[in-house]
Amino acid sequence: MKIKGGPTIRINDPNAVYSVGYTKSGFYTADDENPSITAFSGFPMCIPRSSSDPLCPSSNRPAGRSTFAAPDPLKMAPFQVGDYLEYSGINDGGTIVCYAIVAPNVQITTSGAPTYIRIEDAIIGIYDGGATSEFGDSRFIGYTSDPNAGISVSAIDVDPCTGEETERSIGAASYKAGDARNKFTWRAGTTTSSKYTREYVIRASTGEKLTDNKINAGRYVQPVLEFLFPEPNVPGIVPPVNDFSNMPFLAQGLGRDEAGNLWGQLNPWPGAGAPATTSCGPYTPPTPTSSAVSSTATNADPPGTATSVPTIAVGGTQTTRPGVQVKLGFNVTNKADFTANDLTYSWTQVSGPSVTLSSDSAATPSFTAPAGTAKATYIFNIKASSASAGTSGNANVTVVSDPAVADVVTIDSYTYNSSGGGSVSVTASTNIVGYNANLKLYLTNTATGTATAMTYNGGGKYSVNLPKTKKPANGITVVSDGKGSKSLTATTA
């Protein structure tokens, strides 16, 4: 693309996601999964590969309009002559090879899924507890294509031995009132020590949706752009030490890569003494895939010679409540009599309101108890069969769904920021996943006073952000229509 009165720019796009592709520069590439080539709203944009590119259709840019709802939200929108561009890249022989481009004069919106997200700031304040230290606020600022989508922020924790990632909720963002840009902000004062991760994930309450361009819209993984270390609040003293020990990706490591190499603690350590590390076991290569095993007959498990009947123990009746996901289970007490792949399983519902199991052949399938105000009993038969012995055993598993049983409510994050008159941000969850349990927030450690409805983000998760709100004197309480509640007296970050 030629900038009027300026340089030529092109997208550093080795996988040809946004364009015909560019493979001459292996560094500073465009992000294929979290769109870095976008309209103002975060809606992904592209350069057509041909005059009739089905993944970059001209029909997604209505003539003469710069603000519009996407005609096809699952496809990208092409850049056009007259677009204003903000770009970042590397000068390569007079051409700017770009990893990020935003068209700020193009506002493309969506309604519901897919919701696109663009992040402008990702700043984390570091706390050290020093009496003479000043701490910067943590904040994420961005934009979405749908102003009705709730926005939540979670840290991505990484297991230092396996590299497995888990998400840890830290808060919910709020939109700027009356702002046509769909601008959201999550901000929290730095008042307690925490684990500071390398990457955070921002999610829209409309859920994830895979687009035609293979982008998983509705989530955005964002690396931290700046860590704010404490600064002295008293002139003339020695500045506080930059402490990296609460950054697990440096202090503990990132686990093993595909070749089995363990990426451990940063060495040399940037401090007087390195923190203790996690002891990881020896590397175990991944098990070959089933297709690889079955390609050679000698690799398959030998046929079993069992002659006994599988004996099944199921335990007592499970009690749950409507809306909760129930996992069915059992135990074959004489499993040692059979070879590894000899036993197969079959589940059948015997009685109770009809439900759908996640699998009728898995060892531990699940179902979600339907909503309702009446107590219900569900009975399932599990049959275990031995192919080698030609025998089978069975037993019944009983589940009772009782609306009188309270759901389990968890406050995942509670943060407060003193700027701008104060704001309270809370994320919470319940084990009711089958329907909206209408979680409500009270600004006290008991369910009294005025309640604020929390935004339902799907999957039993909720969030709320209250601007212009003072910090509650004695904590918060979250209650559910399912009779569950949870209180906290201190912030989580």
Question: Domain ranges in the chain?
Answer: 8-109, 117-257, 312-401, 409-488
How high is the pLDDT of residue 388?
87
Quote the tokens at residue 261: 């190499």
- The pLDDT value given to residue 304: 47
pLDDT for res 301: 41
Mean of the per-residue pLDDT values for the chain?
A: 91
Residue type, 402: D
366 band by pLDDT with thresholds 50, 70 and 90? very high
pLDDT at 300: 38
> Considering the domain 117-257 in this protein, what is its CATH number?
2.60.40
Q: Is the pLDDT of residue 291 over 70?
A: no
For residue 295, pLDDT beyond 90: no
pLDDT surpassing 50 at residue 294: no
Which of the pair, 457 or 201, is modelled with greater confidence? 201
Give the per-residue pLDDT at 302.
Answer: 47
Range list of β-strands (E), 260-408: 262-263, 312-313, 318-320, 325-327, 331-332, 343-351, 366-368, 376-386, 391-401
Q: Which residue has tokens 């699998």?
A: 359
* Per-residue model confidence as pLDDT tens digits over 61-83: 998 899 999 999 999 999 999 99
Give the amino acid at 70.
A
Longest dimension (CA), the chain: 84
8 Å CB contact between 438 and 371: no
Write the CA distances from 446 to 424, 428, 451, 479, 486, integer angstroms: 17, 16, 11, 10, 9
* pLDDT tens sequence across 216-263: 999 999 999 999 999 999 999 999 999 999 999 999 999 998 888 999
Question: Distance between CA atoms of 121 and 123, rounded to whole angstroms?
Answer: 6
Tell me if domain 117-257 and domain 312-401 are identical in fold.
yes
pTM of the model: 0.73
Around Cβ 82, how many Cβ atoms within 10 Å?
Answer: 9
Rounded Cα gap, residues 30 and 90, in angstroms: 12
pLDDT band at residue 289 using 50, 70 and 90 as cut-offs = very low
User: CATH classification of 409-488, choosing from 3.30.70, 2.30.30, 2.60.40, 3.30.200?
Assistant: 2.60.40
Domain 312-401 has CATH 2.60.40.10: yes
| Structure confidence at residue 421 (pLDDT) | 84
Alpha helices in 284-414 (DSSP H): 290-294
pLDDT, tens digit, for every residue of 113-144? 999 999 999 999 999 989 999 999 999 999 99
Residue 305 has pLDDT above 90, yes or no: no
